[in-house]
């Protein structure tokens, strides 16, 4: 249906998604505590009763993607055999990294290793602080590594194999055509697309809120501007303007430029900390933790804490798996869009291994340095205290221990800002596709609508305080729970499509011979 400036719109997906979002936000405004309580109750039930399925599911998705890469289907291209890649390998890696995890890494690269060091899971069986420290990085690698990216890659594969090659609408419901046929254009398909839009919208709104808080913490910590609603809303307004401008540039040019710059700046910061920090300790910890990660990968992947039931698993591993699945539709659709022309093998290995290595290097240098400072009392507990008081400030506290603090803090704020803009930019494009019937290039007014909607929702929740953002974060994860089942079905749909593709090619070869 043509909606004037917004262009062609799927009215069912657009209107129902918008009403649900407005209703949820109004609930948060009227009763944020009640919303948080209900969300937490449901989330606790899901973690306790279905946690084992998250554990099994993520490992299955990873093994499934690796199987496809090394199977007879590995040479099939995303988008057709004659399609060539649109972006250089460097820009492709930069966009994968920036869209998928950039902001989160800066937020957690110090806080997570320190948390696991102070409160390790039962399987560590730590007898000393040094043993906890050795495992803390390995657990961080596990949460942000291959398992996390598997859910994104699976959705990207479905998009590239089923949608691009068959020239279908850029919608998650299209991935079910091999199973449902034309029924994807009815209520079942609409429901799938509404859930996809819900999870993507609220997942990114939460990220915008958390990213704004981290930027505000950096400005306050480095320049003394007092924290408060005016600072938060001022930063948010600047961010909204930047990601809207970027989203409106043609051919993802804004995302490409932002991703390249953020990756270069990130590399500079990592090199600086590596050279000026405890270099030998960083290398020792990185090598050791990589060994612990590889050696215990399957043990960590299948650990369900059946006896002690300490709650650690639900607070960390299952929570992360639910979070990555909630983000899978948005990130998967975007990385599929930028990966046309690459083979299944190239896509799987590139999108799994390259970002995982970058994540490990990030945690290895920032997290390893933080652990060294805490173990040797260089920071005298300041880092651990900062994490307990305000996680957003932890990374700035770390850089205060180094020379050239004024310069490095400015670069750090730039890195957070660009990662932030790239993620929000790519999400506005995905939301535009979902609400316009799968149009790969939604009209600018539609992207502006969703971009402003995300920013306005984030601003509203920032004014409500931590309770509003926490409730929204829980809701986005709850919205991702149905995807656990949807993703199992997608695996079957991918296999069915690839078998048909190979059979068709073999028939064509025989006919030509």
Q: Band the pLDDT of 245: cuts 50, 70, 90.
A: confident
User: Hey, which of 76-85, 86-95, 156-165, 469-478 has the most confident mean pLDDT?
Assistant: 156-165
pLDDT of residue 505: 58
**Residue-averaged pLDDT of the chain:** 85
Contact 160, 345 (CB under 8 A): no
Q: What average pLDDT does the segment 498-513 reach?
A: 58
pLDDT of residue 378: 67
Q: What average pLDDT does the segment 249-267 reach?
A: 78
How many angstroms separate the CA atoms of 70 and 194, rounded? 34
- Cα Rg for the chain, rounded, in angstroms? 22
Q: Band the pLDDT of 507: cuts 50, 70, 90.
A: very low
Q: Band the pLDDT of 224: cuts 50, 70, 90.
A: confident
Q: For the ranges 141-155, 266-280, 352-366, 408-422, which has the lowest average pLDDT?
A: 408-422
How many angstroms separate the CA atoms of 86 and 322, rounded? 32
Q: What average pLDDT does the segment 474-500 reach?
A: 85
Half-sphere exposure of 446 (CA within 13 A, CB side): 26
Q: How far is CA 101 from CA 105, 178, 207, 493, in A?
A: 6, 31, 11, 27
Q: Band the pLDDT of 468: cuts 50, 70, 90.
A: low
The answer to whether residue 506 scores a pLDDT higher than 50 is no
First to last CA, the chain: 47
Each residue's pLDDT tens digit, 72-102: 999 999 877 778 888 888 888 877 876 666 6
Q: Band the pLDDT of 323: cuts 50, 70, 90.
A: confident
- For residue 249, the cross-strand partners are none
Q: What average pLDDT does the segment 486-500 reach?
A: 93
Each residue's pLDDT tens digit, 45-80: 888 889 999 999 999 999 999 999 999 999 999 877
The answer to whether residue 420 scores a pLDDT higher than 80 is no
pLDDT of residue 458: 84
Classify residue 402 as left (phi > 0), alpha (psi -120 to 50) or beta. Answer: beta
Contact 262, 418 (CB under 8 A): yes
Q: What average pLDDT does the segment 141-151 reach?
A: 95
The answer to whether residue 318 scores a pLDDT higher than 60 is yes
pLDDT of residue 356: 92
Eight-class DSSP state of 392? G
Q: For the ranges 44-58, 85-99, 164-178, 448-462, which has the lowest average pLDDT?
A: 85-99
Domain ranges of the chain: 2-503
The answer to whether residue 508 scores a pLDDT higher than 60 is no
Eight-class DSSP state of 84? -
The answer to whether residue 510 scores a pLDDT higher than 70 is no
Q: What average pLDDT does the segment 337-351 reach?
A: 91
Q: Band the pLDDT of 423: cuts 50, 70, 90.
A: confident
Nearest to 76 by CA among 411, 342, 472, 287: 342
How many angstroms separate the CA atoms of 20 and 245, rounded? 27
For domain 2-503, give the fold: Amino acid/polyamine transporter I (1.20.1740)
How wide is the angle at C-alpha 73 spanned by C-alphas 163 and 144, nearest 5°?
Answer: 75
- For residue 8, the cross-strand partners are 2
pLDDT of residue 429: 85
How many angstroms separate the CA atoms of 276 and 391, rounded? 23
Residue with tokens 């490992």: 59
Alpha-helix residue ranges (DSSP H) falling in 145-186: 146-158, 165-166, 177-180
Each residue's pLDDT tens digit, 376-387: 876 667 888 888
Q: Band the pLDDT of 363: cuts 50, 70, 90.
A: very high
Q: For the ranges 202-206, 240-244, 392-396, which has the lowest average pLDDT?
A: 202-206
How many angstroms separate the CA atoms of 126 and 120, rounded? 7
Helix (H, G, I), strand (E, B) or coil at 266: helix
Tokens of 509: 């070869």
How many angstroms separate the CA atoms of 216 and 203, rounded? 20
């Amino acid at each position: 249906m043509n909606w004037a400036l917004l262009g062609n719109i799927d009215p069912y997906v657009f209107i129902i998604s918008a009403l649900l979002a407005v209703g949820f936000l109004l609930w948060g405004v009227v009763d944020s505590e009640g919303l948080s309580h209900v969300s937490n109750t449901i989330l606790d039930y899901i973690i306790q009763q279905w946690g084992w399925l998250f554990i099994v599911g993520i490992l299955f998705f990873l093994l499934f993607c690796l199987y496809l890469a090394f199977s007879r289907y590995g040479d099939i291209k995303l988008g057709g055999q004659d399609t060539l890649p649109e972006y250089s390998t460097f820009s492709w890696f930069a966009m994968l990294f920036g869209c998928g995890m950039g902001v989160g890494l800066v937020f957690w690269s110090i806080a997570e290793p320190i948390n696991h060091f102070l409160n390790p899971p039962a399987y560590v069986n730590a007898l000393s602080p040094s043993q906890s420290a050795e495992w803390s990085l390995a657990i961080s690698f596990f949460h942000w590594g291959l398992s996390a990216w598997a859910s994104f890659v699976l959705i990207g594969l479905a998009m590239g194999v089923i949608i691009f090659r068959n020239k279908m609408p850029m919608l998650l419901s299209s991935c079910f055509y091999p199973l449902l046929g034309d029924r994807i254009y009815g209520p079942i398909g609409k429901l799938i697309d509404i859930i996809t839009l819900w999870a993507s919208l609220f997942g990114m709104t939460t990220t915008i809120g958390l990213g704004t808080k981290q930027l505000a913490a950096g400005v306050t910590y480095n320049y003394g501007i007092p924290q408060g609603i005016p600072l938060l809303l001022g930063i948010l307004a600047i961010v909204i303007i930047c990601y809207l401008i970027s989203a409106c540039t043609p051919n993802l040019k804004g995302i490409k430029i932002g991703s390249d710059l953020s990756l270069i700046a990130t590399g500079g910061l990592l090199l600086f900390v590596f050279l000026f920090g405890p270099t030998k300790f960083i290398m020792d910890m990185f090598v050791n933790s990589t060994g612990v990660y590889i050696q215990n990968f399957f043990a960590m992947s299948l650990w369900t804490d059946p006896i002690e039931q300490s709650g650690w698993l639900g607070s960390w591993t299952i929570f992360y798996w639910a979070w990555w699945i909630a983000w899978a539709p948005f990130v998967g659709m975007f990385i599929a869009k930028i990966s046309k022309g690459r083979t299944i093998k190239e896509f799987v290995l590139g999108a799994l291994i390259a970002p995982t290595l970058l994540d490990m290097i990030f945690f290895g240098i920032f997290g390893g340095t933080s652990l060294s400072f805490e173990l040797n009392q260089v920071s005298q507990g300041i880092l651990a205290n900062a994490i307990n008081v305000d996680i957003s400030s932890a990374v700035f506290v770390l850089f205060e221990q180094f020379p050239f603090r004024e310069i490095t803090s400015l670069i750090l704020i730039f890195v957070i800002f660009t990662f932030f803009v790239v993620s929000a930019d790519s999400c506005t494009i995905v939301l535009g596709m979902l609400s316009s019937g799968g149009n790969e290039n939604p009209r600018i007014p539609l992207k502006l609508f969703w971009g402003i909607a995300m920013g306005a929702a984030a601003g509203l929740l920032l004014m409500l305080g931590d309770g509003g953002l926490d409730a929204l974060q829980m809701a986005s994860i709850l919205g991702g729970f149905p995807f656990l089942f949807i993703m199992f079905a997608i695996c079957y749909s991918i296999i069915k499509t690839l078998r048909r593709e190979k059979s068709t090619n073999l028939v064509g070869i025989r006919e030509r011979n």
